[in-house]
Structure 1
Amino acid sequence: MLDVIYRKTQAGLTEIQTRASGLSLKQRQLLIMIDGKTPAHALPMAMPEKDLVHKLLELEWDGLIERAGSLPPKNAAVPAPAPSTAAATAAVAAPGGFTLGLNVVRISAGQVARIRSILHMTNQNHLSGELDDMIGEMEHLVSVADIERCIGRYLQVMKTRGMESAAQTYLAQIRTVVR
């Protein structure tokens, strides 16, 4: 997440001029620093990593910033090519029995980014970054079956840690993203 490079959206540029959204001082400072070139970890914000990630996610969800790219993950593997068919039934049960229940094989890059954001936030807040590698690998996935496998792994870890109810809350957000 901190290797992501963000850029301001048109709404973000307007917010800097108008202050219409009522951003906190830290959110506004962060929005101003985002330049479309600097990865999030290199932004000169004096705050804990967890807070920085949270503020970036808030700005992204509010439509004030968007992902412009990212630094390649360390030891990045080349992703397998996605299936070429655009529609088929994908109710493949992932580990933990999780399915998105979609009638497509692929989802959009924007949807994957939002799912990654949700998983990243919960990974940092509840799992101390245990699933960072998996979440980094998700960037190039567009197959629903692959996404379901990642979410299934996330669910297993959350369940093992006794946080199944918190995981269900985040899964509701993920299902909303893909609808």
Structure 2
Amino acid sequence: MRLDQSALFFRTDRGSHELRERSPGFPNRQRQLLFLIDGKKCLTDLMAFNPDLDDLTLHLTQLHQQGLIACRQNGQSIRIPPAAVRATSRRRPSEQALLTAYSIIAESDASHLNNQLASMINTTFSAVQCSSDLQYCIDRWQKALRELGLDREASEALWQVRSALSD
């Protein structure tokens, strides 16, 4: 059985507890996705958060395996079937997508963070082989912006980066 686009995802008690307690080391991307899961959003809705279906499916599967979310399809609770899990996308983003994402992140680092992440950003973007190679860099950049209270700017810039990399 494969998940269809209308499968609904909901947080378990354990997932709600994770959001309240904010365990150290819990991946930021998974925490953001867990926050969005409310029992009303289907796979299509969650793709607005992460348009890379392979990456989204991987994160959903990881949350499910940890017992943090569950899934309903056709009104019945189901386990996310292994056949629904796709491998992490190993496709390298286009040069234009990388350049756009790099420009957004580097400009934000320069204007808000005094280039404190410049070395990491340059190193990461020069060695990228697939979108997932950028995740640590993006998470670190987002954390630095949010620590300065720049939540709105961080969210807007992250949306621009995700849009660029989804092309």
TM-score w.r.t. length of structure 2: 0.46
User: Higher helix share goes to which structure?
Assistant: 2
